[in-house]
Amino acid sequence: MAAATVMPHFGQQMSSQIELVPDWTSQEVSTGTTIMAVEYDGGVVIGADSRTTTGAYIANRVTDKLTPIHDRIFCCRSGSAADTQAIADVVTYQLGFHSIELDEPPLVETAANLFRASCYRYREELTAGILVAGWDRRLGGQVYCVPIGGMLVRQPVSVGGSGSSYIYGFMDANYKPHMNKDQCLELTATAVALAMERDGSSGGVVRLASISESGVERRVILGNQLPKSSAH
């Protein structure tokens, strides 16, 4: 096959002619998503919505997008559900092995680099936007952003996913350095709730987690308990 020919977009179109099998059965499962991670002195707070879509159908309305990679390191997944689950499984294995070799809890930067290595090497094949967040003894709470393409950058606060576009302004206006854990939790919950309100691919419940030296605390905010915004 000559390299110069244009390859048609394959895969998804094969069954669209057969009307018995609707379009969304052939669509890839995507976590439309809003994810967020914030550093504070002593740890990190992470939050996500809970909607997974195949086309226009919600395949899972209670997804857990905050995936543990190690005892004090989590990742927030956005993009293709299959790609991010596979990458997270691989990194969990690699980090666990590395930690046993070291006989020490691993660094958050190590986990982030493992994600970056997979996401950059297979950048053409993958659709994965990941936030790596956790606590380690060397640098405390850290948030690393590994967006589509495989960049790696540390940020004090980061948002991701399709719903993140709607809350960049909110985040810039309301994030202040040196906030404490409860302020971070409130900021994250409010931001994710606002994004869920506006983004069709985000919704369900708000899942929160705070990671510090003492461990991981997880919380779920159900639909009727979401922070009320002033409009409607």
User: Restricting to residues 51-70, which ones interact with another protein according to CB under 8 A?
Assistant: 52, 54, 57, 59-60, 62-63
230 binds another protein (CB under 8 A): no
Residue written as tokens 């399709």? 162
User: Which residues neighbour 95 within 8 Å (Cβ) at sequence distance 6 or greater?
Assistant: 69, 70, 73, 106, 110, 111, 114
Q: Least separation, in Å, of the C-beta of 80 and another protein?
A: 7
User: Restricting to residues 106-125, which ones interact with another protein according to CB under 8 A?
Assistant: 123-125
Amino acid occupying residue 58:
I
Amino acid occupying residue 52:
T
CB 151 within 8 A of CB 229: no
Does the active-site annotation cover 31?
Answer: no
Of 11-19, 39-47, 91-99, 167-175, the window that binds another protein (rule: CB under 8 A) is 11-19
Candidates 31, 33, 63, 67; catalytic one: 33
User: Which residues neighbour 163 within 8 Å (Cβ) at sequence distance 6 or greater?
Assistant: 32, 33, 34, 49, 192, 195, 196, 198, 199, 201, 202
Q: Least separation, in Å, of the C-beta of 169 and another protein?
A: 28
CA 29 to chain centre: 15
Interface residue with another protein among 1, 173, 222, 231 (CB under 8 A) is: 1
Question: Contact positions toward another protein, by CB under 8 A?
Answer: 1, 3, 7-8, 10-11, 13-15, 17-18, 20-22, 25, 28-29, 52, 54, 57, 59-60, 62-63, 80-83, 85-86, 89, 123-125, 149
Catalytic residues: 33
